[in-house]
Structure 1
Amino acid sequence: MTTAVQARQIAPLRTPTDLGADATRDIAAALNRVLADVFALYLKTKNFHWHMSGPHFRDYHLMLDEQGDQIFAMTDDIAERARKIGGTTLRSIGHIQRLQRIADNDAEFVTAQDMLAELAEDNRLLISELRAAHAVCEEHNDVATTSLIEVWIDEAERRAWFLYEATRR
């Protein structure tokens, strides 16, 4: 029989939780995929914020700065939620790259309209991935994580809406 001290030495990062090993594994994996996408979306949003140009520069620049702040604010909550339930989280840029589903954009120049349209699509992709993570959390009765995800879905829907409206002619 393993003592509590021996168990901590075997798995020093395992935070006690009542969710069970399968739930911890599945939810932490879903959260890490979302976190990788959130970091990718954050950097792309800031990239476009920094490289915005054109007649609506000020409005778009400020909107993307605000959206970037909102996206970045999610990162700590996502990672800490994975840790709270006994999982681990991302450790490097390489780890993010292996998990992210939102594509990078390294183009030398992107028009303002293309930037906004791409970010709108990326936010919609994030919404889809958040819904998938929500389903995993529901399956394991993790109401705390589902509650957080619902807020993040609402925020992403608002960002997608604003970006869509900004691209209408």
Structure 2
Amino acid sequence: MAQRPTPRYTVPGLTVDQAGTIIGSLQTRLYALNDLHLTLKHIHWNVVGPHFIAVHEMLDPQVDSVRGMADDVGERIAALGGVAQGTPGTLVKERTWEDYSVGRADAIAHLGALDLVYTGILEDLRKAIAGIGPLDTATEDLLIGQLRGLEQFQWFVRAHLETTAGTLSTAGARTETAAAHQAG
């Protein structure tokens, strides 16, 4: 990961060292949200099959909301005295996960893969909240709101994957490709 320098100043009530820690965590969140935005658009453009229109139209509000979340995180980084790194090259260089792996595919297959994407983002977000909470309640509050929104989007996705027995059709899948195959 790139070195994240401690800011020269920050918001009242935080030390610059605390702000540096928070900025580092927020920067990872910014990468994840920018990546999610692009992944959602990729799915939107490449979804096919009988559930096309339902999934196609379900994704646009998610895209818009995730873009807003990224903007909020970038602005919080700046408010804390940091530099929000939002360029595509930095995202690709710094992310710790692989690129989305499903191309043109059935809507349900994409949703199976997207469920795993959301799971990874939500797990990382919960860890970030746990680390930031003791340092800064304002940033914690921002992330908790985003957690609620992203969990709701995953619920929308999972509603398409739930069987009549109440289980997920993708249960046990460890990769996007496996989840897409199981769901489709």
TM range (shorter): 0.7 to 0.9
Output the TM-score relative to the length of structure 1. Answer: 0.84
- Distance of aligned partners of 1:48 and 1:91 in 2 relative to their CA distance in 1, 3 Å threshold: closer
Q: CA RMSD in A?
A: 1.9
SS in 1 for 2:111: helix
Could you say which residue in structure 2 is the equivalent of 1:69?
A: 64
Displacement of 1:108: 4.0
Give the alignment partner of residue 21 of structure 2, picking from 16, 26, 45.
26
TM-score normalized with structure 2 length: 0.78
- Asked whether the equivalents of residues 102 and 122 of structure 1 are also in contact (C-alpha less than 8 Å), the reply is no
Check conservation: 2:34, 2:70, Cα contact below 8 A.
yes
Give the corresponding residue for 2:142.
148
Select the residue among 55, 80, 87 that pairs with 1:85.
Answer: 80
Instruction: Report percent identity of matched pairs.
Output: 28
Task: Provide the C-alpha distance between the structure 2 equivalents of 1:94 and 1:159, rounded to a whole number of angstroms.
Answer: 27
**Letter aligned with residue 104 of structure 2:** F
Return 5+ residue gaps in structure 2 as ranges: 164-184
Residues in 1 aligned to 2:28 and 2:107: alpha-carbon distance in whole angstroms: 28
Cα offsets for 1:112-160 (capped at 9, x unmatched): 22211111211121111111211221231x0110001111000111111
Distance across 1 between alignment mates of 2:103 and 2:117: 19
User: Could you say if the C-alpha distance between residues 91 and 62 of structure 1 is closer, same or farther in structure 2, counting changes exceeding 3 Å?
Assistant: closer
Q: Which has the higher contact order (CA 8 A, sep 6+)?
A: 1
Secondary structure, aligned partner of 1:139? coil
Aligned to 1:59: 54
Find the aligned partners of 1:162 and 1:23 in 2 and give their Cα distance. 36
- Count of residues in Structure 1 that have an aligned counterpart in Structure 2: 157
Structure 1 equivalent of residue 154 of structure 2: 160
Q: Which runs of 4+ in 1 moved over 6 A?
A: none
Q: Which stretch of the first structure deviates more once superposed, 27-36 or 114-123?
A: 114-123
